Amino acid sequence: MPYVKEVLDYLKRTSPAQNEFYQAAEEVLESLRPLILQYPKYAKHKIIERIVEPERQILFRVNWLDDKGEIQVNKGYRIEFNSALGPYKGGLRFHPSVNAGVIKFLGFEQIFKNSLTALQIGGAKGGSDFDPKGKSDNEIMKFCQAFMSELFRHIGANTDVPAGDIGVGAREIGYMFGMYKKLSNRYEGVLTGKSLKWGGSLVRTEATGYGVVYFAKYMLEDRGESLEGKKCVVSGSGNVAIHTIEKLYHLGALPVTCSDSNGMIYDEEGVDLELLKELKEVRRERLSEYVKARPNAKYTPIEEYSHGCNAVYNIQCFAAFPCATQNELNLNDVKNLLKNGCVCVSEGANMPSTLEAVHLFVESKICYGPGKAANAGGVATSQLEMQQNASMTSWSFEEVDAKLAQIMKNIYLNASTTAAEFGEPTNLVLGANIAGFRKVADAMIEQGLV
């Protein structure tokens, strides 16, 4: 459809060198073809042209002083993409790979992810090219305070509520919240992922990983399958991967891999969750240290990966959970997964699969949960944290976990029902994109040209 190509050409002309953003936009827009052909109102109101442009893009300088007394300078970003459904909501990422294209792709995906939760939240994303690795606690505090010294003027409990992402955990949220409170003279739920001592929600730490596994569970149940007793591979070793592994164990599965930017672990007996948490959350060490405590496990450094492949996806498995970063899984990886018997993929990372990989997943008709649907549990629980903050109450772990499970079930049912409506019942990419887009687009039309 020429209409979609025209929009993509426009983005490449007006937002140059933002390849991740083009990829995210193309995946969504290609899925919307049948909707736009059937309902011309979306073209008439130019919803596509409007939704690919952020409502507001904030770029700022972050100056901070390191432990040597030297001035450091980083870029800070907050891209507020769409507020048709509620206050802007989306994480902050601190990583050297962060640039405008990465933040725009994440913010664009967040619009539809948040829409799928059926909660009142719009889409946004932010972050910085600051790298927390190798920094002292004092340096991280100084950077977070400097970052918030600019960001605070653009956010608020009913305006924009950031959360964490890669490189931003409870420690960073705490430092930023403290500076926000000081500068604004307000104690409000302006950030989610807060400590339980001062307004955080139970399950928020676990939510994305747990939600990814719940989504896989519901996909498999529809086909008369389950995760119990099944061998699973997981990529990554951060918060999402750790709690994906934890929930897999809860459901009786056997997760056998995890990875970081230097290599991957294959533990045939099952990943030692407590050891993994100790290494990554307490000691903050590389995964290569894992085999010192588990000599029967195998560590493969990234230099030994087969050319063009991720070693995680070369292990025989029933289900795979990409939980590391964008574009970690390519066409060769999909071929390896299918060859090795994988029948279910549930994405914990944002856009972890290339477009070619996504197309092959869809063609194979295995259970495939795209990230914007499968990993929506994190932002959904962030919104539950916002609800608790607004009412000044705190819910039990079991209560929040039950709400999370129901939200993930509703997302799956919404995506699968929509896919069936457009004649492709196994294509959850199409179902999630159309379902997420349609709700936002209808709200935009009803709210007028704003």
Q: Among 69, 66, 70, which Cα is nearest to 139's? A: 66
163 and 32 in a common domain? yes
**The domain spanning residue 26 has which CATH number?**
3.40.50.10860
Widest Cα–Cα separation across the chain: 63
Residue 431 lies in a domain: no
Residues in the chain with pLDDT values less than 70? 1-2
7 and 106 in a common domain? yes
Residue 161 lies in a domain: yes
Q: Phi then psi for 241, rounded to 5 degrees?
A: -65, -45
What pLDDT does residue 50 have?
96
334 and 228 in a common domain? yes
171 and 242 in a common domain? no
CB 135 within 8 A of CB 72: no
What pLDDT does residue 202 have?
97
At position 396, the amino acid (one-letter code) is S
Angle, helices 207-221 vs 377-391, to 10°: value is: 120
pTM of the model: 0.94
Give the single-character DSSP code of 132: -
125 has catalytic annotation: yes
How many independent structural domains does the chain possess? 2
Distance of CA 253 to the CA centre of its chain: 23
232 and 171 in a common domain? no
Q: Residue 433 corresponds to which tokens in the numbers above? A: 């994109």
* 3 state DSSP class of 271: coil
Q: Residue 311 corresponds to which tokens in the numbers above? A: 């070693």
CA 131 – CA 20 distance, rounded (Å): 20
Which one of the listed residues 125, 142, 217, 372 is annotated catalytic?
125
What pLDDT does residue 1 have?
54
37 and 179 in a common domain? yes
- The two counts, helices (H) then strands (E), for the chain are 18, 13
CB 309 within 8 A of CB 333: yes
**The domain spanning residue 250 has which CATH number?**
3.40.50.720
What pLDDT does residue 2 have?
60
Residue 230 lies in a domain: yes
In the beta sheet, which residues pair with residue 126? 78, 92
CA 104 – CA 292 distance, rounded (Å): 40
Residue finishing a domain among 186, 216, 235: 186
Residue 364 lies in a domain: yes
Question: Residue with structure tokens 């007996």?
Answer: 269
CA 285 – CA 292 distance, rounded (Å): 12
Provide the domain limits for residue 11.
2-186
Question: Residue with structure tokens 């889409």?
Answer: 123
